[in-house]
Amino acid sequence: MARAFLFVLDSFGIGGASDADRFGDAGANTFAHIAQACATGAADREGLRKGPLNVPNMLSVGLGRASATATGFSLGEDQAALPSSFHGAAEEVSSGKDTPSGHWEITAVPVPFDWGYFPQTVPTFPSGLTAEIVAEAKLPGILGDCHASGTEIIERYGGEHIRTGKPICYTSADSVYQIAAHETHFGLERLYELCRIVRRLVDPLNIGRVIARPFVGESPADFERTANRRDFAVPPPEPTLLDRLTARGSKVIGMGKIGDIFAHQGVSEVRKAAGNMALFDATLQAMDDARDGDLVFANFVDFDTLYGHRRDIAGYAAALEAFDKRLPEAVSKLKPGDLLLLTADHGCDPTWTGSDHTRERVPVVGIAPGLQGGDIGLRKTFADIGETVAEHLGLARGRHGTSFYPAIAKNA
């Protein structure tokens, strides 16, 4: 049984989703398009990075082979696989390409129902909803009321927000109601309280998340979002892997956004840190703290928020390279019987149009010292990940997904 470590590289898709055209995403491929841009020098940035995408450690646990399974794209020469490493790709069955759907499906609870979405109109929010929010939260009104990129809308309305006290409300292709407000002029606690009110009011519309997007700065040139983002998600529709683990007394340590994504259900402990690297440090500490039967579940959000949505190819490539450099530190923490698995919750191809997520397959790669490892092929649902971790940690089978544990354990 030992321990399990699940790392989600938020938005690191590898293309090839069979239903991508339903989302307008046919051909989107976060990994391949970044790698191709790097190969041509299109992702060079002075002082940041240069040349071909340099991720040898992820390749050594099978990222290249996982990509080949998803679409046929592989990055240069095949890398020597580490002993006990396994690799494959997984397709999402949930109806949305959002963060909660991806994470819940990873924990063996796919989301078959359709979320509520706000239309591509201005205003985007129903007038009755806005009237209720304004009245209950005693606001002078709202700004935005449209689909937008979070950084651009702060640039556009940040000044007016500070002057008028009206929060900036916007949405995206995801099932979200996002609220940007200044940490001091509006107040961080007041923003969270507003989000709680909105959470309740959008429940009947089946909206997945209300997200507080606090920022600081005094002018468009220096407005900056802070690490105090908070997501108010609806709880998963069924008990997840996390609930099944905590119910039998195991500890689930949720790193970064994990607690919020699961509406704090099944998460024994939340540990946060600002930025991927600080989060990596905190995750290494959590790996030390985990006992047999425990799960450390980490979400590395910068890939998505800072680079995917911002369509910043060089930034995304540099973030992958920085993560890759640290991977051996996590691998060195593994003891016989442990399982480390790297995956993603959806794509966010920085070469794609717009600023939304992209429907993609995700990598399922990792290492399980003591097991044989090998090719796990193309999995039909992310839920296979959750069921594999469940079997590894000694839980009974769940209702969704098929464990690939027998495949990697054979001849161990």
Q: Which is nearer to ligand R1P, 59 or 211 (CB)?
A: 211
Distances (CA, A) of 281 to 257, 273, 298: 15, 9, 11
Listed ranges 12-20, 69-77, 169-177, 284-292: which one lies at the site for ligand R1P (CB under 6 A): 169-177
Residue 309 contacts ligand R1P per CB under 6 A: yes
* Residue 245 Ramachandran class (φ > 0 left, ψ -120 to 50 alpha, else beta): alpha
Contact 249, 294 (CB under 8 A): no
Q: In whole angstroms, how close is the CB of 213 to Mn ion at the nearest point? A: 12
Q: Which is nearer to ligand R1P, 223 or 404 (CB)?
A: 223
Residue 208 contacts ligand R1P per CB under 6 A: no
**Is 10 annotated in some ligand binding site?**
yes
Match 């991977």 to its residue by tokens: 327
Residue 99 contacts Mn ion per CB under 5 A: yes
The residues near 189 (Cβ < 8 Å, ≥ 6 apart) are none
Q: What is the rounded CA–CA span in Å between residue 240 and residue 350?
A: 31
**Is 103 annotated in some ligand binding site?**
no
* Position 77, amino acid: E
Q: Which is nearer to ligand R1P, 36 or 149 (CB)?
A: 149
Exactly one of 100, 110, 144, 150 binds ligand R1P (CB under 6 A); which one? 150
Residue 304 contacts Mn ion per CB under 5 A: yes
Exactly one of 92, 174, 338, 391 binds ligand R1P (CB under 6 A); which one? 174
Q: What is the rounded CA–CA span in Å between residue 102 and residue 95?
A: 10
Q: How many residues does the chain have?
A: 412
From Mn ion, ligand R1P, none, interface partner of 91 (C-beta below 5 to 8 A by class): none
362-367 and 85-90 strand pairing: antiparallel
Exactly one of 92, 338, 345, 349 binds Mn ion (CB under 5 A); which one? 345
Q: What is the DSSP letter of 381?
A: -
Residue 172 contacts ligand R1P per CB under 6 A: yes
Contact 244, 395 (CB under 8 A): yes
The residues near 77 (Cβ < 8 Å, ≥ 6 apart) are none
Exactly one of 2, 3, 10, 32 binds Mn ion (CB under 5 A); which one? 10
Residue 305 contacts ligand R1P per CB under 6 A: yes
- Residues comprising the binding site? 10, 304, 309, 345-346, 357
Q: Which residues bind ligand R1P (CB under 6 A)?
A: 99, 149-150, 172, 174, 176, 178, 211, 213, 305, 309, 355
